[in-house]
Amino acid sequence: MTLEQEVKLAAKHAAEKAAKEAAEKAYEKGYKEAEMKGVKEKLESARNLKESGVSLEIISKCTGLSLEEVEANSQLLRKRPKYCNRVQHDTIYHL
């Protein structure tokens, strides 16, 4: 094998390795973002249920969050500023 062929082969292997690593990083990032989105949605559901007067134990069972996570989320809910807009869940919209 000539030196030129060896250089081309090494460059090809390096490019394949870099592409594989980039694909793995992109997959991990996408997975983590999807996981965080799921957690965010669960926390939002817990927040809405809490605002509706549902007990923390039931919220935990419904969302799959631990009781500690629900309680921590509940503490954050209490600390929201009064000027923060809240959705009224008892309003019925007719389209």
The range of the structural domain enclosing residue 68 comes to 3-78
Average pLDDT of span 44-69: 90
Q: What is the DSSP letter of 65?
A: -
Q: How far apart (Å, rounded) are the C-alpha atoms in residues 39 and 65?
A: 9
Instruction: Give the pLDDT confidence score for residue 61 in this predicted structure.
Output: 92
In a domain, 84, yes or no: no
Instruction: Give the pLDDT confidence score for residue 81 in this predicted structure.
Output: 53
In a domain, 62, yes or no: yes
In a domain, 88, yes or no: no
In a domain, 35, yes or no: yes
Higher pLDDT among residues 89 and 14, named by residue = 14
Higher pLDDT among residues 3 and 94, named by residue = 3
In a domain, 94, yes or no: no
In a domain, 73, yes or no: yes
In a domain, 92, yes or no: no
Helical segments of the chain, H only: 3-51, 56-63, 67-78
Q: Is residue 49 within 8 Å of 28, Cβ to Cβ?
A: no
Instruction: Give the pLDDT confidence score for residue 78 in this predicted structure.
Output: 63
Number of domains composing the chain:
1
